[in-house]
Amino acid sequence: MVWDGICANGKTPLVFVDEGVKINHKVYRRDILKAVVLPWAKRHFGNVNWTFQQDSAPAHKTKKTQERCKVHFPEMITSAEWPPYSPDPNPIDYSVWSILESRACSITHKSLDSLKQSIRLEWDRLKVEDLRPIAENLNKRLRFCIAAEGRHFENN
């Protein structure tokens, strides 16, 4: 598994989760939020107000994770506010991963290390000019999601 984050003017470091590691709320909070997101956000945003959004993965929805996010992020979209049945509004899911997959998997990889290296290379190649329109499209996609009552709306 790979975790990443984007905004209109940047991207987090990639986090590769070792094979066999189950991402529960403790691992997510320790290895992703505390170790990666918080330090990156402090450097990237400084004192600028910003909103944290995550999808409906079980580790993201736990009470302890939600509480931690409310304490450490200036604003956030809570799991109760995020549509539980539609991946469509998530910029990582609807756009970024398809870009990375098309680029990183354009050749057959003979090992997991080769695939990881290719994903890292393509992640590094993503520029703000690539990310800005993806992030700015979120409001439009949220309106579609509301019209679909939180259900899948892509290709409708």
Phi, psi of 152 (to 5 degrees): -60, 130
Residue, of 136 and 155, whose pLDDT is higher: 136
Alpha-carbon span 143 to 82, nearest angstrom: 12
pLDDT, greater one: 84 or 137: 137
Specify the fold of 2-148.
Nucleotidyltransferase; domain 5 (3.30.420)
CB 14 within 8 A of CB 4: yes
Higher pLDDT, 152 or 15: 15
Query: Lowest-confidence range among 53-57, 59-63, 83-87?
Result: 83-87
What pTM did the predictor assign?
0.83
Mean pLDDT of 140-156: 75
Backbone angles phi and psi of 10, in degrees to 5? 175, 180
pLDDT recorded at residue 24: 94
Number of H helices, E strands in the chain: 9, 6
Map tokens 């736990």 to a residue.
62
